[in-house]
A and B are shown apart, each in its own frame.
Chain A
């Protein structure tokens, strides 16, 4: 069990800088998820912690020890790869035993530990088989067993569920969550799947272009996105964005757009009179209101498309020249062509300036990159 500290970490490939001044503290026993689009540097960062990529600048500390110049085997980390990376010529037993054999652990103890780990992960029946004779989910379980058996200080997962089908992915996600609950090993988990991130993480590190966009608990990131990018990346269906201009109006702000008007609290948002802004509204925050009363906090238009999602339906309509999505109960979903109006509660508004930063008062200043909130 150990904490991990990344201080001013840089990574360059020649002249190309892929990680810029990365700072993060991962507490002991914490489950951290690196989330971001492809190419944001999350895997590179994980591999730097593992020792598979060289660190161009800054320090990585595991359990208080600087590990920059340590071999991967000396860092006390175990990693699970996206494509399992099992040794294809060895049986499952030998795959799991490989690390312990290299550590010169006595044979009897290796055997005991393998029995225990394979019982935990339900691999008893497969120990004598070769990796190719196992399904993807079973292979990934072997990879987890191989990582677990070394009782590492840190677990590293590099998109471990990406190669599995949707059903199996759900199942394995729950297994990983359960395993962490039991072992309480400090974990860094890389994924581009926001559902995995939201469900597994103690804290999410949302990355873009080699830098941190926001660090926070899944709820913080969902409810108070610090930037426009975070707001757009997290949440399905995607958040709706509208261009507005702020006007001071007594006790509150009036946010005027092309044919609509919103009212936002002065206590919540720190705006300037006449400032150009981007307004964000989640599809789930749009509430259908059949009787149009007044014109404030209201979006209306003709339904363009209805997508059935199960309990809900996503209806798309055009308002203010933008495509707006709204989630409505599937049973009461309107048909395409119908005129609809949706009201929005002032509390569920997100406002960003033109640089993409949230204008919410309490979210500015807290959650500075990398520090524990």
Chain B
């Protein structure tokens, strides 16, 4: 009997130790450091209370980073879900099962590509002089088109790459979800005077509500971790127009000034904010 109760712990302990070292220690350290005035250039630090946090709220660049992060979330999650649902329905409605499977494999390729590789590929594609994506514009107007250097288009262009990676992949998931639904309610709806779009809007998509919400949720969490994509494509530029919170924290902590405590403060705020936001959204979505 005793063996039975201790055995789970034997297996759990190593995993918990690894998790504690990799996740808990840095988190606790970040919280501790955020109450100090440590910098990378000096080995010591003093306790300064909430000074870092107070400074953050009067930092306009930090406020900008919040705006950029929120826009990034809305744009990438919104368009990914739109593309996923739209393309998924299109595949389901118009493409034969055989072709569907071939397209499904093709659509999964972008998301298999490592983020950094995808970022480099698209960075070249958007190159104002040699990029294939900007070539038609150059050929027609004779002017180079530099989308990544324009503060108005930079964020959208980077988001395009993110949506390209995840929207296509999610469309395959939506297609497979549609295939699992029983066909009879659709047939009943067609007999019930519903047009094709009404069948999807009123029957198919509501039947898939729970998995679609889960997909959106996965994408929200995934979008928070877009650091590598933005880092390779724009490094937060031009100016600070694509500087998300993690980008700004990174540049404060490691690139520009080495203000590691200030960056930690930002990280801790982000952690709290996302924990609260996601808990609220998850609870809401479940009801």
Contact = CB atoms under 8 A, between A and B. Distances in A.
Interface string B187-211: 1111111110010001100110100
Nearest to B202: A98
Contacts of B184: 81, 83-85
A216 B96 CA distance: 42
B193 A102 contact: yes
A52 B202 contact: no
Interface in B16-43: none
A99 B185 contact: no
Nearest to A85: B184
A136 to B, nearest CB: 15
B8 interface: no
Interface stretch (A34-42, A86-94, A167-175): A86-94
B185 A85 contact: yes
A69 interface: no
Nearest to A73: B193
B142 interface: no
Nearest to B186: A85
Given A83-B182, A85-B184, A89-B209, A52 B189 contact: no
Interface residues of B, number: 18
Given A89-B209, A98-B202, A102-B198, A146 B185 contact: no
Nearest to A88: B207
Contacts of A150: 192-193
A77 interface: yes
Contacts of B194: 73, 98-99, 102
A150 B207 CA distance: 24
A81 B187 contact: yes
A142 to B, nearest CB: 11
A78 B182 contact: no
A295 B198 CA distance: 73
Interface in B191-242: 191-195, 198, 202-203, 206-207, 209
A102 B185 contact: no
A77 B191 contact: yes
B188 A79 contact: yes
A90 B203 CA distance: 9
Contacts of A298: none
A99 B193 contact: yes
Contacts of B187: 50, 52, 72, 79, 81, 85
Looking at B185, B192, B195, B203, the one whose CB has the most chain A CB atoms below 10 A away is: B192
A79 B185 CA distance: 11
Interface string A39-71: 000000000001110000000000000000001
B193 A87 contact: no
Contacts of B192: 73, 98-99, 102, 146, 150
Contacts of A71: 190
B191 A50 contact: yes
A339 to B, nearest CB: 56
Contacts of B203: 87
B188 A89 contact: no
A72 B209 contact: no
Contacts of B195: 73, 102
Nearest to A96: B192
A42 B206 CA distance: 32
A103 B182 contact: no
Interface of A: 50-52, 71-73, 77-79, 81, 83-90, 98-99, 102-103, 146, 150
Given A150-B192, A150-B193, 15 more contacts: A51-B191, A52-B190, A73-B190, A77-B191, A78-B191, A85-B188, A87-B188, A87-B202, A89-B206, A89-B207, A98-B192, A98-B194, A98-B202, A99-B193, A102-B194
29 contacts: A50-B187, A51-B190, A52-B190, A52-B191, A71-B190, A73-B192, A77-B191, A79-B188, A79-B191, A81-B184, A83-B182, A85-B182, A85-B184, A85-B185, A87-B185, A87-B188, A87-B206, A87-B207, A88-B207, A89-B206, A89-B207, A98-B194, A99-B191, A99-B194, A102-B193, A102-B194, A102-B195, A103-B193, A146-B192
